[in-house]
Structure 1
Amino acid sequence: MRILVTGREGQVSRSLAERGTGHELVFAGRPEFDLADASSIERTVAAVNPALVISAAAYTSVDKAEDEPALAMAVNGDAPGALARSAAKIGARMIHLSTDYVFDGSLDRPWREDEPVGPLGVYGATKLAGEQAVVASNATYAIVRTAWVYSPFGSNFVKTMLRLAETRSELAVVEDQFGNPTSAFDIADALMAVIAAWQIDPGKGTNAVYHVAGSGGTHWAGFARAIFAESTCRGGPTAKVIGIPSSAYPTLAKRPANSRLDTTRFANTFGYSAPPWRDSLHGTISRLIS
């Protein structure tokens, strides 16, 4: 199957490049492909003529989005709709990646797909707008929300912690925001599960929203401690983690206190559940510290 993947250097895109065996993956990125340019999107989809579009690229700087709302909306809100409409024109399907930040964090348990959304900042609001644009298109789609993505690629929390530990013996990390650390490789595997299911039954689980995230949850400080425990075992950098409240680490964008995701619907529909997040973290640290 020919699959157009938006983004060349993103964590999920690079993970798909390793896990998407058996398919012809075409990766689209700047300067030829610009998510802020609807005509660029339409030209690329028409030229590649894929059977499936995976909308993986996004504006991901949560705090910077507060200062660049128009650009964030163009990339996260408008572009997915343009992608979906372009896909529909040629009869292609679309899988769109979204985020846990569409929720306000007020629940004390994992969020289900059908529960009320209420983003707290520009980033979450633009990602929600992207979901709505995909739903409003004529494309056959699946929307996959995920959370706290990390990998050996690009910029992410795991790599930031390891870099900071090279020069600091103690790190203050928030411990009142809870979520699911999720390996980009597990997201890639989940997307491959959707594709495999659709090849057998084209109507299976279409036009719906799903959650995919690492099994189990923690807070940022707990995530950091697990990173350093894995790093220590390999002789890598480590630091003592001091847990702090969010109020002691102010940010431009407010984060949800609890954005853990319930992944039952995806598992029941497509037969895939991500491994426990600590198991996947083990694999990532092994690649980063050899």
Structure 2
Amino acid sequence: MSDDHAFIPVYVIVGANGMLGRAWRELLEAEQRDYLAFDRVQLDITDPDAVAAKIPEGVRYVVNCAAYTNVDGCEEHEDEATRINGEGVGRLAERCAAIGATLVHYSTDYVFAGDADSPYPTDAPIAPVSAYGRSKAAGEKAIADSGCSHRTIRTSWLYAPWGNNFVRTMLRLTDEKDTLSVVNDQRGRPTSSQHLAAVSKTLLAANDGVYHVTDGGECTWFEFTQEIARQAGHDCDIQPCTTDQFPRPAKRPAYSVMDLSRTEAAAGKMTDWKTNLAQVLSQID
């Protein structure tokens, strides 16, 4: 592992200190692979000169874990979100095209409208209903327009043993509170960041294109919380509520379950979310 490029690594991880960036670092360290890692301060992906300086020729894979991920904040700062999630991704894609590297980029279930009644395939029309979704769709387009080799990986409901995420928040709340209301009319697929990194690496041997990577199975946020509390042994009265009872600035997709068939054909069956949740909970103090 290195944080400069006196040598030429196989991997460069961008956004290396986030939930997914840390999972990638731990994965590569476990395999004793060298890599360059940059956080958002060390590399501004919207600056093409910085991107060229930090990502040397000879790199094979650029793993982009950098993003503006505050879904509600995007509603007030859509220009900034698009600058990072759209234009910044385009800069990385252009660099990868120039040096012959493969870009591993993460997109989101929020590129879909969320009004389907069956899982979204990878080629389903995108129709984002939020600023965040629009900014991530712009990133997908920038990659396609660049012509670079890529794995554009859509994921959803990301969680990890570290960082700020739904699992860690609900683990705390179900321990502290006697009762808790959680939205029960939004359905999707949770995703362990460690599972996501591992499957993403497997997909490097697959064809270019768009993939959906999540845990297996599906649930609502209410059902997710119930399972978190059950596995943690927390005695909290968890009640379902509607999205309308818990208003947020950004509209959330009601149904954002993504079809996994293309990914599973290349990387095997996705591990069920309850199993991955147990593995993550076992790592939290």
Q: TM-score, normalised by structure 2?
A: 0.92
CA contact (8 A) 1:95 1:144 kept: yes
Q: What is the rounded CA distance, in whole Å, between the counterparts of 1:106 and 1:6 in structure 2? A: 33
Residue by residue, what CA displacement relative to the aligned partner does 1:247-286 show, whole Å, maximum 9, x if unpaired?
0000000000000111101111x22332000000001111
Q: What is the rounded CA distance, in whole Å, between the counterparts of 2:42 and 2:267 in structure 1? A: 36
Q: What is the rounded CA distance, in whole Å, between the counterparts of 2:268 and 2:235 in structure 1? A: 33
Residue by residue, what CA displacement relative to the aligned partner does 1:219-269 show, whole Å, maximum 9, x if unpaired?
00000000001111xxxx55221100100000000000000111101111x
What secondary structure sits across from 1:287 in the alignment?
Answer: coil
Match in the other structure for 2:243 = 246
Letter of the 1:220 counterpart: W
Q: Alignment identity in percent?
A: 33
Q: What is the rounded CA distance, in whole Å, between the counterparts of 1:146 and 1:188 in structure 2? A: 11
What secondary structure sits across from 1:109 in the alignment?
Answer: coil
Letter of the 1:45 counterpart: I
CA contact (8 A) 1:36 1:71 kept: no
Query: Which one of 80, 87, 90 corresponds to residue 81 of structure 1?
Result: 90
What secondary structure sits across from 1:256 in the alignment?
Answer: coil
Letter of the 2:267 counterpart: G
213-222 or 237-246, which deviates more: 237-246
Residue by residue, what CA displacement relative to the aligned partner does 1:37-88 show, whole Å, maximum 9, x if unpaired?
3332222113x75211111111111001101111100110111110011111
Match in the other structure for 2:27 = 19
Match in the other structure for 1:225 = 226
Match in the other structure for 1:201 = none
What secondary structure sits across from 2:37 in the alignment?
Answer: strand
CA contact (8 A) 2:199 2:267 kept: no
Letter of the 1:30 counterpart: R
CA contact (8 A) 2:12 2:59 kept: yes
- Alpha-carbon distance, 1:166 to partner: 3.9
Letter of the 1:215 counterpart: G
- Alpha-carbon distance, 1:168 to partner: 1.6
Match in the other structure for 2:269 = 273
- Alpha-carbon distance, 1:214 to partner: 0.8
Match in the other structure for 1:259 = 256
CA contact (8 A) 1:32 1:40 kept: no
Q: What is the rounded CA distance, in whole Å, between the counterparts of 2:195 and 2:58 in structure 1? A: 27
How do 1:90-101 residues align onto structure 2 when only pairs under 5 Å count?
A: 90-101=99-110
Structure 1's consecutive aligned runs of 4 or more residues displaced over 4 angstroms after TM superposition are none
Runs (5+) with no aligned partner, structure 1:
198-203
CA contact (8 A) 2:16 2:25 kept: no
Match in the other structure for 2:171 = 162
Match in the other structure for 2:6 = none
- Alpha-carbon distance, 1:22 to partner: 4.6
What secondary structure sits across from 2:36 in the alignment?
Answer: strand
Q: What is the rounded CA distance, in whole Å, between the counterparts of 1:71 and 1:140 in structure 2? A: 26
Please say if 1:287 is aligned against 2:283. yes
- Alpha-carbon distance, 1:110 to partner: 1.0
Runs (5+) with no aligned partner, structure 2:
1-8
Letter of the 2:224 counterpart: F
Query: Which one of 49, 55, 58 corresponds to residue 45 of structure 1?
Result: 55
Letter of the 2:19 counterpart: Q
82-91 or 34-43, which deviates more: 34-43
Q: TM-score, normalised by structure 1?
A: 0.91
- Alpha-carbon distance, 1:108 to partner: 1.0
Letter of the 1:89 counterpart: A
Letter of the 1:285 counterpart: L
CA contact (8 A) 2:14 2:40 kept: no
Query: Which one of 52, 63, 79 corresponds to residue 70 of structure 1?
Result: 79
26-35 or 73-82, which deviates more: 26-35
Letter of the 1:7 counterpart: G
Letter of the 1:38 counterpart: P
Residues 153 and 238 of structure 1: is their aligned pair in 2 closer, same or farther, counting only changes over 3 Å? farther
Letter of the 2:122 counterpart: E
Q: What is the rounded CA distance, in whole Å, between the counterparts of 1:264 and 1:96 in structure 2? A: 19
Residues 239 and 35 of structure 1: is their aligned pair in 2 closer, same or farther, counting only changes over 3 Å? farther
Match in the other structure for 2:207 = 205
Letter of the 2:218 counterpart: G
Letter of the 1:242 counterpart: Q
16-25 or 85-94, which deviates more: 16-25
Residue by residue, what CA displacement relative to the aligned partner does 1:179-201 show, whole Å, maximum 9, x if unpaired?
00110111011112023x2xxxx
CA contact (8 A) 2:47 2:91 kept: no
Q: What is the rounded CA distance, in whole Å, between the counterparts of 2:101 and 2:277 in structure 1? A: 34
CA contact (8 A) 1:162 1:238 kept: no
